[in-house]
A and B are shown apart, each in its own frame.
Chain A
Amino acid sequence: KQEVTQIPAALSVPEGENLVLNCSFTDSAIYNLQWFRQDPGKGLTSLLLIQSSQREQTSGRLNASLDKSSGRSTLYIAASQPGDSATYLCAVSPEYGNKLVFGAGTILRVKS
């Protein structure tokens, strides 16, 4: 059974700092990995999707990497801003099917 773990559970940083969020999964037989952002009381916004054949994806100040063999992904946020404050969720999709398995998330607070 696939399990996804995100570390740290919560993170508080000053504005401008570069930061890394970690995601690990127990079964390396994945099709893709997706990072989401969730603001309080809101739905999920897709940030980055990495196919299993890819090593990384970039969007603006965000960079996500994937090491499928070791079961790890990281989300790098450059020059953090207060508007980045949210919960960040990692989810993996199995090789067959669309059933995403989510981690519990990292609550990020960027202080101005």
Chain B
Amino acid sequence: SQTIHQWPATLVQPVGSPLSLECTVEGTSNPNLYWYRQAAGRGLQLLFYSVGIGQISSEVPQNLSASRPQDRQFILSSKKLLLSDSGFYLCAWSPPRLEGYEQYFGPGTRLTVT
């Protein structure tokens, strides 16, 4: 069966510091991968998605970036965090199809920027 992992589970970082969140998927090949952010009092917002290694699409212009160095690894990064980057970050995967299909979410990373 498929499993999705995220780490760390929680993170407290000062403004201006770098960020690296990691997501890995087990039990499937060539998945579509997604990064979402859930800010306090707001719905889930899609940040990035990837249909293959090195293929990243950005949905929201911001100081975050994403990379997919391996088939089942998705990384969210920032060079300098802002207070507004605080939130709950969720990684998700879906089967390798072009059209919409069921998405499965990881446990999330709670990021607090101080």
Binding site for B on A (CB under 8 A): 4, 30-32, 34, 36, 41-46, 49, 89, 91, 93-105
A-B contact pairs, 22 of them (CB 8 A): A30-B100, A32-B102, A41-B88, A41-B110, A42-B107, A43-B106, A44-B44, A44-B90, A46-B104, A49-B102, A91-B44, A93-B99, A93-B100, A94-B100, A95-B99, A98-B32, A98-B49, A98-B101, A98-B103, A100-B44, A103-B43, A105-B43
Known contacts A31-B99, A46-B103; A99 and B42 CB within 8 A of each other: no
Q: Is the interface of A mostly helix, strand, loop or mixed?
A: strand
By a CB distance below 8 angstroms, the chain B residues around A98 are 32, 34, 49, 94, 97, 99-101, 103
By a CB distance below 8 angstroms, the chain B residues around A100 are 44, 46, 100, 103
Residue in B34, B43, B104, B107 whose beta carbon sits within 8 Å of that of A104 in the complex: B43
Nearest residue (CB) in A for B6 is A43
Are B103 and A34 touching (Cβ within 8 A)?
yes
Are A43 and B46 touching (Cβ within 8 A)?
no
Binding site for A on B (CB under 8 A): 6, 32, 34, 42-44, 46, 49, 59, 88, 90, 92, 94, 97-108, 110
How far is it, in angstroms, between the C-alpha of A21 and the C-alpha of B25 when the chains are bound?
A: 31
How far is it, in angstroms, between the C-alpha of A43 and the C-alpha of B11 when the chains are bound?
A: 16
What would 15 more interface pairs be, CB under 8 Å, given A91-B44, A100-B46? Answer: A31-B99, A36-B105, A41-B110, A43-B106, A43-B108, A46-B103, A46-B105, A89-B43, A94-B100, A97-B100, A98-B94, A100-B100, A100-B103, A104-B43, A105-B43
